[in-house]
Structure 1
Amino acid sequence: MVNCTQSNDTIQDGVLLFQLIVYIPVLAFGIPLNAIAFWVFCWKLKRWTETRVYLINLMIADCSLLFALPFLIYFHRRQHQTGKLCFAIQCIYFTNMPMSILIITMIAIDRYIAIKFPLKAKTLRSPLKSASMCGLLWIILVIYAYFHPKFEEGEEEFCFQKRASRPNYSSLLSIFGYFVALGIVVFCSVEVIKCLKKKMSESPHETKLIQKALHIISVNLCVFILCFLPLYTVLLLRFAVDVAGACSLVWPLRMSVHILACLANANCCLDGFCYYFAAKEFQEISSLLPPCMFMRSRMNQSQESQQPTDQVMT
């Protein structure tokens, strides 16, 4: 196995400074934003919906990240050795980001079903089904986060600092999962945008409402791509470099991972804005669905024939 142990203290100090510059505002804004959002979605809303279930779980994931960030900063600055505390914080950290990605993916799928298939939505969607899916995801990711550090046990001296050049195949699973989620989110968002644009051309009196929904969906998609895609691209490159044993590229990629992880972790602060408006979008767009469903029902009764449900919004 190739051993790549080169280091650059100046670059590392710069990365630590960048972490402080990013994480201090993230903690300062993320904690109150998520606290307010959690209060609104848990106690102020009267009706349980699929969106409400997903957003509460998303906030739990974001709050777990905010809890882990101070430890992450401390571990990096103090070269904290691996141990029980490190293992516990790593479990929390390696759970929240994949969970956030998966919940955002579930929200995109839920939106796609609600807009494209309003007739089937009543059977495919329910708060109980959403809660069951989230519970299953939590169980899977907690198990993954528990075993993830085990692959590096005995090889790493310092917490959250991968120095061994052995490829981490457990990370490859996370990387693959992100790109699958990215494809789903992009597909669902693009299809919903196309559907709403058709609806807007046929219903000029609803243009303002639909334009607002289009902006929210577009912003959510951009945030999802900008926050996570750079990190997982570099993680994939790091895995390829570890496999190839190219020591000259290990250190730059290691520092890039730390920097891009800061940007990805900032997503927990942005979620407080994006998904508050996403919830409003769901409520407003749902007002467009009942007339469409009623018209569809009348067409089915009069024509006594079935037509594809994805034509409801066209």
Structure 2
Amino acid sequence: MNVSNNCSITSLELYHHVRLIEFALYNFIFFFGVLFNALALWVFFCKIKKWTETRVYVINLVFADCFVICTLPFMAYLRWNKSTRGELCQLIETTYFINMLVSIYIISFISIDRYIAIKHPLKARTFRSPSKAALLCGLLWVSVIIGATVQIWQSQSTLCFQKDTAVPAALILLSMFFIFILPLAILTFCSTEVIRSLKRCLNTNSPEEKSIQKAVHIIYANLIVFLVCFLPAFFGLLARVVMDSIGATCFMLQICACLASSNCCLDAFCYYFAAKEFQEFPSLFPTCISRRSKMNKSQESQPPTDQVMT
């Protein structure tokens, strides 16, 4: 997240406290991010042998989060020292934004994959496969690397991780649409539809009810974490564009950038440690569908009086 370079904080004491909070948050995120993602890498490469769509997406998510984590110490150092845009700054900026954007879109891909597997299980064999998931992730990496590299290396800002004032507001709003609004819309729609389908299965008294209920909780957690991490940064950037920066906006954007970076830690709980549930769940859901269809057929075959009584 870039922060405006013309924020007018009048209180030096307040600015010092903001920098201390920011520095502490980045170190906190770095420590737990390394811990959780190292554990995730160990689980996926040493404990899980079968390649599935979920495993392909989540491994790409792990690597994207790891790259974000690796940039955090450099980001804290560059921001703390108000470093100018040298080669190190450009490298760290490019790495950070590429992997943050890849992480956001892989989360969207995971939600789409769940939607197809659960809402359209018969079509899932056509649209879902580990090779297709790998191809989609590869195209995402290439497109994001090209786009982000061109944009960041053309930046005219003087300080590292600072907003380029030469960029038109309309272009910033367009970027915000593709970076946040579109992924959020995908995640919200897919999560809502999947939750509706899962809750209908809960009414069938199926033996897989506990697994289904756990899957519902995981989807809620995914959506909440995405909102907590990225929604404040979105509104902070929106306020920066609309209000053309005031003192409070600078503070808000700095803290919101830390919240966005914390997503690389929270992904561990939402996706890595929950991956086993969603690797097994697509095989459970068709059973639920067949059971519901049998119940509907049995109800239709009953005499009208029996249906009224029930």
Q: TM-score range by the shorter chain?
A: 0.7 to 0.9
How much has 1:166 moved relative to structure 2? 5.3
Distance 1:97 1:275 in 2: 16
Is the counterpart of residue 54 in structure 1 residue 50 in structure 2? no
How much has 1:169 moved relative to structure 2? 5.3
- What letter corresponds to residue 219 of structure 1 in structure 2? A
How much has 1:227 moved relative to structure 2? 0.8
- Secondary structure, aligned partner of 2:161: coil
- What letter corresponds to residue 232 of structure 1 in structure 2? F
Deviations 1:243-269 (A, max 9, x none): xxxxxx433222211110101101101
- Distance change >3 Å, CA 43–CA 168, structure 1 → 2: farther
Check whether the contact 1:90–1:145 (CA below 8 A) recurs between aligned residues. no
- Distance change >3 Å, CA 4–CA 269, structure 1 → 2: closer
- What letter corresponds to residue 117 of structure 1 in structure 2? H
How much has 1:229 moved relative to structure 2? 1.0
Aligned length: 289
Distance 2:238 2:154 in 1: 18
Check whether the contact 1:151–1:168 (CA below 8 A) recurs between aligned residues. no
Is the counterpart of residue 237 in structure 1 residue 213 in structure 2? no
The aligned counterpart of 2:73 is: 70
Distance 1:250 1:143 in 2: 33
- Distance change >3 Å, CA 71–CA 266, structure 1 → 2: same
- What letter corresponds to residue 15 of structure 1 in structure 2? V
Distance 1:89 1:4 in 2: 22
The aligned counterpart of 1:131 is: 134
Is the counterpart of residue 278 in structure 1 residue 281 in structure 2? no
- Distance change >3 Å, CA 4–CA 295, structure 1 → 2: closer
How much has 1:221 moved relative to structure 2? 0.9
The aligned counterpart of 1:312 is: none
The CA RMSD measured in Å over matched residues stands at 2.4
**Which structure 1 segments of 5+ residues have no match?**
243-248, 299-314
- Secondary structure, aligned partner of 1:118: coil
Q: How is 1:1-314 mapped onto 2 (pairs within 5 angstroms)?
A: 6-8=8-10, 9-153=12-156, 156-162=157-163, 164=165, 167=168, 171-177=172-178, 178-242=180-244, 249-291=245-287
Check whether the contact 2:202–2:212 (CA below 8 A) recurs between aligned residues. yes
Deviations 1:180-225 (A, max 9, x none): 1101101110111110000110134332121111111111110011
TM-score normalised according to structure 2 size: 0.86
Distance 1:93 1:18 in 2: 20
Distance 1:230 1:252 in 2: 14
**Which structure 2 segments of 5+ residues have no match?**
295-310
Distance 2:7 2:227 in 1: 32
Check whether the contact 1:75–1:159 (CA below 8 A) recurs between aligned residues. yes
Distance 2:7 2:120 in 1: 54
Check whether the contact 1:217–1:278 (CA below 8 A) recurs between aligned residues. no
More moved, 280-289 vs 70-79? 280-289
Percent of aligned pairs with the same amino acid: 48
- Distance change >3 Å, CA 5–CA 276, structure 1 → 2: closer
TM-score normalised according to structure 1 size: 0.85
- What letter corresponds to residue 162 of structure 2 in structure 1? Q
- Distance change >3 Å, CA 5–CA 103, structure 1 → 2: closer
More moved, 224-233 vs 197-206? 197-206
Distance 2:128 2:162 in 1: 42
Check whether the contact 2:204–2:292 (CA below 8 A) recurs between aligned residues. no
Check whether the contact 1:42–1:56 (CA below 8 A) recurs between aligned residues. no
